[in-house]
């Protein structure tokens, strides 16, 4: 285009010959002659029609055009095109089988052609593939949503350092289509319970329920495919939709753009949250951090909008379905208690009171917790473990057996998993007298004295007579009412007198 303008300027204004123009610009004299003749033709047409300006403007501002209609392809032979088409067909088959990340790219196809002895350039391969793909390129129709009408859901994988351990976790992400309000929740497993609990938490945050939920072809939402288009929902999705009153739809296969809001949100929330910080002590800490990030994102304005996402969501809440309350979601299972007073779930062991050896207990499985029942009564609860071969042991569950076998306490897994202050108390004062330590724990359990309270009294007694700590002295400070009524605590008159007496006795012993 620049050469074209220079040629006309030199010929018309500076009156140079075609030969001089060609030498000055370093181009062929034939090229100069072609542009000069084109300009002369445009001038003649403008003079004949009587309005020269439009014709001259079109000539001077239009890009040079080259006639390549009859130009043959010297490198792209029929054999090479056939080979490229076969590679593209293989790619399409891999995508159909769910191997979309293992398809050949343009550079790979070119390298395979070179390896087979074909003499062809990389740009020629790219041009052919681009032209072939553009002929089948899909058009998209922009959607407008009513407030509270649509919400999209999706999963994504995140990798975090939890307590110095690298963990692969999963994040459930919700996005409201009209306001673009986002919410995320972290789970250890991408299963049915996590799917249900994520919805419960999101609906509680909204204070209402979207009219329709959109999902892709995830296993926790689709039970089976009855055909290419017909999909049967899972029981859990039917339970959620029936209880909360929302409808649902599934995207077509390999059509993630049909829920483009959440597809974008997954990448956006994950990057904004965990690209900056990915080390946490607990999963709960990571969840709290994620909620802070989502709150910050929701406080921003959308492009072209005068209000923040949270303000738009405030208006959208008015159109949500009424929230009917929290639906409890769990899976009930039965388990037999083995000789270690534990039951097995997956590959992990969970303890129960030792008098239940050989019995069957009922277990409510939540995504992050287990509740154990026996004869209809709640026995205990455990955090759910997703490790392999893990033992979740509670020391108080074995006090009945340890009263008969106190020597088993020292090397027990129950003591190792006990809270640090119980281990410290045992190592400092009861290492050579496990029977008394078991008796103290049994006394605390009988009188419903927490381990934290026991530790406080122990530290108090340790400050008075560190060399002479006994179970009887601890009982005096804790209160020895066998019925648990009118228990005495450290700020009472009796305990203060007992502390004074213990101090006096300790001083006498030290003098002697």
Q: What is the DSSP string of 267-320?
A: HHHHHHHHTT--EESSHHHHHHHHHHHHHHHHTSBPTT-SSBHHHHHHHHHTTS
Mean pLDDT check: name the lowest of 32-46, 193-207, 263-277, 469-483.
469-483
Residue 489: pLDDT band with limits 50, 70, 90: very low
DSSP 64: P
For the chain, give the mean pLDDT.
Answer: 84
> What number is the average pLDDT over the span 222-245?
83
Indicate if the pLDDT at residue 78 is higher than 50: yes
Judge whether 407 and 435 are in contact, CB under 8 Å.
no
What's the pLDDT at 490?
47
Instruction: Give 332 or 170, the one with higher predicted confidence.
Output: 170
Res. 242: pLDDT tops 50: yes
DSSP characters over 198-213: HHHHHHHHHTEE-SEE
Distance CA(277)–CA(413), nearest Å, equals 34
Structure token digits, residue 254: 């390999």
Residue 155 has pLDDT above 60, yes or no: yes
With 0-12 CB in 10 A as exposed, 13-18 as middle and 19+ as buried, what is 143?
exposed
Tokens of 27: 């181009």
More confidently predicted of 144 and 405: 405
Rg (CA), the chain: 39
Position 486 scores a pLDDT of 39
d(CA 350, CA 341): 8
* Each residue's pLDDT tens digit, 473-486: 888 888 754 434 33
> DSSP state, 76?
-
Structure tokens at 3: 């050469």
Q: pLDDT digits over 419-463, tens only?
A: 999 999 999 999 888 999 999 999 999 988 999 999 999 998 888
Question: What's the CA gap between 431 and 416, in Å, rounded?
Answer: 14
Write down the residue that tokens 């959208």 correspond to. Answer: 316
- Residue 277 · residue 143 · CB < 8 Å: no
Is residue 134 over pLDDT 60?
yes
| pLDDT, mean of residues 358-375 | 91
342-345 and 222-225 beta bridge pairing: unpaired
The residue written with tokens 């929740």 in the block is 185
Q: Can you give the pLDDT at residue 405? A: 92
Phi, psi of 425 (to 5 degrees): -60, -45
| pLDDT, tens digit, 9 for 90 and up, residues 6-50 | 887 788 778 888 888 888 888 888 888 888 888 787 777 777 766
Strand-pair category, 342-345 with 208-209: unpaired
Cα gap 415→99, rounded to integer Å: 49
Mean pLDDT of the region 239-267: 75
Beta partners for 337? none
User: Residue 305 phi/psi, 5° resolution?
Assistant: -110, 145
pLDDT of the residue at 509: 55
pLDDT in tens, 95-112: 877 777 788 999 999 999
Pair of tokens at residue 378: 């709640």
Nearest to 321 by CA among 419, 242, 413, 228: 242
Would you state the pLDDT for residue 74? Answer: 64
- Specify the higher pLDDT residue, 168 or 216: 168
Query: What crossing angle do the helices spanning 471-478 and 451-464 adopt, rounded to 10°?
Result: 120
Q: Which pLDDT value is given to residue 79?
A: 87
Nearest to 88 by CA among 133, 124, 119: 133
Kindly give, in sequence order, each residue whose CB lies less than 8 Å from that of residue 176, ignoring residues fewer than 6 positions away: 148, 150, 151, 210, 313, 316
Q: What is the pLDDT of residue 510?
A: 57
Beta bridge partners of 382: 370
- With a pLDDT cut of 90, the percent of the chain lying above it is 42
Helix, coil or strand: residue 89: helix
CA-closest candidate to residue 492, choices 500, 483, 482, 503: 500
**Percentage of the chain with pLDDT > 70?**
83
* pLDDT at residue 497 is higher than 80: no
Q: Which of 470, 471, 488 is nearest to 479 (CA)?
A: 488
What average pLDDT does range 380-392 have in this prediction?
A: 91
Q: How confident is the model at residue 230 (pLDDT cuts 50, 70, 90)?
A: confident
């Amino acid at each position: 285009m620049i050469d074209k303008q220079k040629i006309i300027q030199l010929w018309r204004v500076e009156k140079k010959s075609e030969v001089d123009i060609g030498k000055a610009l370093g181009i062929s004299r034939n090229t100069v002659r072609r542009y000069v003749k084109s300009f002369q033709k445009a001038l003649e047409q403008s003079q004949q029609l009587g309005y020269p300006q439009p014709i001259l403007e079109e000539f001077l501002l239009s890009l040079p055009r080259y006639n390549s209609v009859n130009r043959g392809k010297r490198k792209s032979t029929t054999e090479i095109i056939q080979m490229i088409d076969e590679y593209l067909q293989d790619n399409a088959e891999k995508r159909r089988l769910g191997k979309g990340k293992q398809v050949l790219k343009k550079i790979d196809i070119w390298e395979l052609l070179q390896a087979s002895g074909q003499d062809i350039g990389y740009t020629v391969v790219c041009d052919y593939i681009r032209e072939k793909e553009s002929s089948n390129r899909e058009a998209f129709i922009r959607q407008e949503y009513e407030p509270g009408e649509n919400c999209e859901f999706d999963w994504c994988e995140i990798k975090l350092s939890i307590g110095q351990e690298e963990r692969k976790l999963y994040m459930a992400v919700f996005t409201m289509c009209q306001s673009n309000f986002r919410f995320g929740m972290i789970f250890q497993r991408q299963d049915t319970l996590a799917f249900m609990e994520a919805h419960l938490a999101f609906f509680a945050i909204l204070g209402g329920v979207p009219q329709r939920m959109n999902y892709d072809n995830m296993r926790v939402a689709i039970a089976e495919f009855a055909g290419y288009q017909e999909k049967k929902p899972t029981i859990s999705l039917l339970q959620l939709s029936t209880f909360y009153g929302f409808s649902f739809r599934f995207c077509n296969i390999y059509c993630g753009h049909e829920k483009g809001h959440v597809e974008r949100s997954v990448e956006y929330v994950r990057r904004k949250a965990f690209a900056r910080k990915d080390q946490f002590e607990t999963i709960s800490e990571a969840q709290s951090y994620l909620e802070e990030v989502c709150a910050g994102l929701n406080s921003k304005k959308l492009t072209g909008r005068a209000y923040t996402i949270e303000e738009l969501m405030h208006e959208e809440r008015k159109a949500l379905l009424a929230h009917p309350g929290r639906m409890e979601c769990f899976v009930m299972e039965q388990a037999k208690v083995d000789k270690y007073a534990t039951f097995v779930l997956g590959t992990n062991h969970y303890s129960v009171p030792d008098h239940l050896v050989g019995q069957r207990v009922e277990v409510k499985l939540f995504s992050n917790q287990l509740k154990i029942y026996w004869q209809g009564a709640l026995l205990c609860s455990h955090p759910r473990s997703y490790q392999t071969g893990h033992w979740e042991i509670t020391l108080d569950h074995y006090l009945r057996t340890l009263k008969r076998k106190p020597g088993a306490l020292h090397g027990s897994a129950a003591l190792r998993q006990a809270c640090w202050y119980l281990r410290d108390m045992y190592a400092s004062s009861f290492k050579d007298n496990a029977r008394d330590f078991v008796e103290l724990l049994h006394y605390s359990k009988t009188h419903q004295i927490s381990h934290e309270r026991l530790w406080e009294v122990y530290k108090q007694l340790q400050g008075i007579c560190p060399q002479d700590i006994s179970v009887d002295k601890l009982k005096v400070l804790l209160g020895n009412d066998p019925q648990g009524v009118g228990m005495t605590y450290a700020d009472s008159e009796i305990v203060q007198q007992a502390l004074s007496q213990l101090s006096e006795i300790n001083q006498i012993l030290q003098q002697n």
